[in-house]
Amino acid sequence: MRTGKVKRKTQETEIDCEVNIDGTGQNEISTGIGFFDHMLEIFSHHSLIDLKLKAKGDTHVDLHHTVEDTAYVLAQAIIKSIGDKRGINRYGFFYITMDESLSRSVIDFSGRPELVWKVGLGLEKIGEMDTELFYEFFKAFSNESKCNLHIENFYGDNNHHIIESCFKSFARSVRGALTIDARIKNIIPSSKGLL
């Protein structure tokens, strides 16, 4: 089993995270932000990554630090679990519909961070969560995991559906990228020999 465990404590947040890449999507998640918990549960369920995550943050200030630092810790735990990336597919992409919305995520665990975010939202908040924080989550994840991540929503009317389709497509693209290809199980998937 490919597992990773990370703890992060700052003056703004305290986060414990455990992942099992080869899991079945079991999860125990508590960030103090209801809608964010829902999206992380969706990520775990559809990526098949077992995820235990507990975050306490300065939510009396705002939700930014908790969301951003959670992305850092999740990315660190995933990268820790895959080591030198030997045998992984490296690339993943997936389209997901959620009722009237359609979104696509494409990921490359390339060792180079880049986020392209083409998602327009008409609300300032979903639940108690500022919608601008979704960009911050994915930006922090791509920076910390050093992946190329492109997320695009093609259309949709309901903001909840749009974001949920983004998280589901992200989850399935991560799942595809981290799956071991039996033909290269002892090979790093790069012509350079290093990722």
pLDDT value of residue 1: 86
Distance CA 172, CA 92 (A): 8
Report the percent of the chain where pLDDT is more than 90.
Answer: 98
For residue 126, the domain's CATH number is: 3.30.230.40
User: For residue 178, what is the enclosing H or E element?
Assistant: helix 159-178
Instruction: Examine residue 192 and state whether it is found in any structural domain, yes or no.
Output: no
Quote the number of domains for the chain.
1
Instruction: Examine residue 195 and state whether it is found in any structural domain, yes or no.
Output: no
Residue whose C-alpha is closest to residue 104's, from 21, 176, 50, 189: 176
Instruction: Examine residue 40 and state whether it is found in any structural domain, yes or no.
Output: yes
Range of the domain at 64: 3-184
Mean pLDDT, residues 14-24: 98
pLDDT value of residue 5: 98
| Residue 54, pLDDT above cutoff 90 | yes
Instruction: Examine residue 189 and state whether it is found in any structural domain, yes or no.
Output: no
Instruction: Examine residue 21 and state whether it is found in any structural domain, yes or no.
Output: yes
Residue whose C-alpha is closest to residue 130's, from 71, 72, 59: 59
pTM of the predicted structure, to 2 decimals: 0.97
Work out the angle between the directed axes of helices 159-178 and 132-145 (0-180°, nearest 10): 10
| Residue 71, pLDDT above cutoff 90 | yes
Instruction: Examine residue 66 and state whether it is found in any structural domain, yes or no.
Output: yes
Mean pLDDT, residues 74-89: 98
Longest alpha-carbon distance in the chain: 50
pLDDT 10s digits, 123-168: 999 999 999 999 999 999 999 999 999 999 999 999 999 999 999 9
Instruction: Examine residue 147 and state whether it is found in any structural domain, yes or no.
Output: yes
**Across the chain, what does the average pLDDT equal?**
97
Mean pLDDT, residues 95-103: 98
Instruction: Examine residue 41 and state whether it is found in any structural domain, yes or no.
Output: yes
pLDDT band with cut points at 50, 70 and 90 for residue 68: very high
Cβ-count burial 99-123 (b if 16+ within 10 Å, e if not): eebbbbbbbbbbbebebebebebee
